Structure 1
Amino acid sequence: MTRRERVAENLNRALHTLLDNDPSAYVIGEDISDPYGGAFKVTKGLSDRHPGRVLSSPISEGGIAGAGAGLALAGSRPVVEMMFSDFAALAFDQLLNFASKSVSMYGRTVPMSMVVRCPTGGNRGYGPTHSQSIQKHFIGIPGLNLYEASPFHDNVDVFTAMLGHEQPCVLFEDKVLYTRTMHTDGVVDALFRYELIGDDNPTARVFPVDSGDPDWIVIAPGGLTERVTGAMRSLLLDEELTCELLVPSRLYPFDVQPLLPLLSRTRRICVVEDGAAGGTWGEMLAQQLHEHLWGRLSRPVLLLSAEASIIPTAAHLEREVILQEMTIHRVIAEASQ
């Protein structure tokens, strides 16, 4: 039996595919060259195969993003890596004031095909400055697309979609997710199946085997897949509550319209995200859902986020801040009463 591909391996294959097929592609970041191959080994083997286009950079996130944006402006298609997404704050000026604006500020549309990879999230004991989920700080920037990796979306297709926009994109990659296996052939486990909905930037739908309309539909980015699916399993077995999960590939811009027929099958919706509340993707999505579905819902959209706190290093304290499977189960069970 062939071992299933892990998410980090799938990302590595996607980068190999890009560099093999596109001579204008570059990969730039700190410590990404072999033999190290990056902090999470996602870039392993790339520099040996493409030594002139896989470049280990100085420790300067602003410089990395600026170099990538300059290459994109000149017609290349770079992928740049922030070693931890927390450090993308140092690249924010390049993304806000250069890359995203260069698409349209010269009086004509200028292709800016670039991807900024951001290993993100906690649950690994890395502490306050290496564990954050900072997606919300990039929401709403015109010309900047946000994606999140998931175990349902093959990253070969995701990179094709991102670079096809000809606009800068940020790809958030949950660090725990790196070690998890990709799901294939529509099977999650004995209880759940999945399907991809939509041709461009598809959304994964995870649903119980042999079930009708769900009691709840949960919408969550890819990094929360394991925790939400675990909560769905215990809610089904312990509470007899059926839930479905929708996992989008692109977080922003996000159009809820194609999902309305699915969402109209339930009277309760929960949006789950890893960052702290306040100006978030989840709040933006909840606003869209209320606008379209308010008359059908039995209660306001339930929004679950991390605690408003720094993220501790100690595992037992970290678990109290970052959203966990048992919390998702408890809150949905209580909201069902």
Structure 2
Amino acid sequence: MRVVENLNLALHGLLADDPRAYLLGEDVTDPYGGAFKATRGLSTRFPGRVLSTPISEGAITGVAGGLALAGDTAVVEIMFGDFVALAFDQLCNFASKSVSMYGRPLPLRLIVRAPMGGGRGYGPTHSQSLHKHFIGLPGLSLYEMSPFHDNTLVLRSMLSRGEPGILFEDKVLYTRRMHEADPIFRVRLDGELAVVDLDDAPECVVIAPGGVAHRAMAAMRTLLMEQELSCRLLVPSRLYPLDVDALLPYLGDAVVVAEESTAGGTWGSEVAHQLHQRLWGRLRRPVAVAHSRDGVIPAALHLEREVLLNEETIGTAVLEVLRG
């Protein structure tokens, strides 16, 4: 099963299990079924609860927030995650605040799905990874789709928190197969954390969100074959608030965080900060953060590859931590 098919199945299950659940977005109804086909078949099966909307991300998210405030469940599809910036006010000043600003805890079951990332040649305004702009908003949780996490469980986890959440979906994952990995890797799940090992004694641990996982594994394979270095990869489903305690048993004295965002106030910086507080006495060097180059993302594929985080970027960061 491909990742997008797993996501589609999860959305079918959510709407089937919850008669008060709605899904809203641009062109999400059949026969189109969304820009990346994640909503295919939903409007046919659940007429009246899957709604194609006008092109206004702020309005879509505002209506969904109102549904959630009234006790319903709402899922929003932002066609391209870059445009979640247009919904920032609704998320920052309404939805995330509503869980606590009325004098009592108020569950708000809202999920905003945001296809993010490059690698498809879509250019500067359709290829960004904007995770960092939502880090640290009280009452807003952040998740990222992964080839190792069943999306049914991810959606359940998001809704069980009783607060609005964003599910970042790296576009390069949609066509990948679930649990796809080179046979040299051992993959296991520990709650919301996927652990990818080459052996039981890694020399460096790489922490990365789901969309970066295959680039990290490619870097790990190259380091093993060319440098005889073994690494471990940790892929958390929930990016924020980060469950640091879940990471600690798998960490050593060398750590790299890899992300596709550009540098500056990022998720990776937050992970590094929290790990420094816990591990400073045993780290060989400060936690390294590998990220994309500073600048807009070109549409030309050969130029895009030069800007975005890739396996060489990750491999170089690992070598610098181990040998610097």
Deviation at 1:189, TM superposition (A): 2.7
5+ residue gaps in structure 1? none
Query: Does structure 2 retain, via aligned residues, the 8 Å contact 1:239–1:333?
Result: no
Say if 2:47 is the partner of 1:57.
no
Which residue does 1:309 correspond to in 2?
A: 295
* Deviation of the 1:80 alpha carbon: 0.4
Corresponding residue for residue 243 of structure 1: 231
- Give the deviation of 1:334 after TM superposition: 4.1
1:108 & 1:172 partners in 2: Cα distance?
Answer: 29
Query: Matched residues in 2 for 1:174 and 1:249: separation?
Result: 13
Superposed, 1:263-278 pairs within 5 Å as 263=251, 266-278=252-264
Whole-angstrom distance in 2 between the partners of 1:138 and 1:180:
26
Contact 1:273 1:306 in 2 (8 A): yes
- For 1:222, the equivalent position in structure 2 comes to 210
Distance 1:83 1:259 in 2: 32
Match among 154, 161, 178 for residue 157 of structure 2: 161
Deviations 1:170-218 (A, max 9, x none): 00000011110101xxx833200111113xxx1000001xx23211000
Q: How far did 1:259 drift?
A: 2.0
Residues 232 and 243 of structure 1 are in contact (CA less than 8 Å); yes or no, is this contact kept in structure 2?
yes
Note the residue ranges of structure 2 that are not aligned, 5 or more in a row: none
CA distance in 1, matches of 2:320, 2:100: 48
Of 1, 12, 15, the residue aligned with 2:8 is 12
SS at match of 2:174: helix
Q: Distance in 1 between matches of 2:242 and 2:316?
A: 28
Asked if residue 204 in structure 1 is aligned to residue 194 in structure 2, the reply is: yes
- How far off is 1:261 after superposition? 1.9
Q: 1:98 aligns to what?
A: 94
The structural deviation recorded for 1:153 is 0.5
How many residue pairs match? The answer is 323
CA contact (8 A) 1:71 1:77 kept: yes
TM-score (norm 1): 0.94
Q: Which stretches of structure 1, 4 residues or more, deviate above 4 A after TM superposition?
A: none
- In the TM superposition, residue 308 of structure 1 has moved relative to its aligned partner by 1.1
TM-score where L is the length of structure 2: 0.98
Q: CA RMSD in A?
A: 1.0
Whole-angstrom CA distance in 2 between matches of 1:110 and 1:96: 16
SS in 2 for 1:147: strand
1:190 corresponds, among 183, 186, 203, to 183
Distance 2:319 2:106 in 1: 49
Q: Deviations over 1:34-89 (max 9, x none)?
A: 00000000000000100110000000000000011000000000100110110000
| Residues 43, 50 of structure 2: 8 Å contact kept | yes
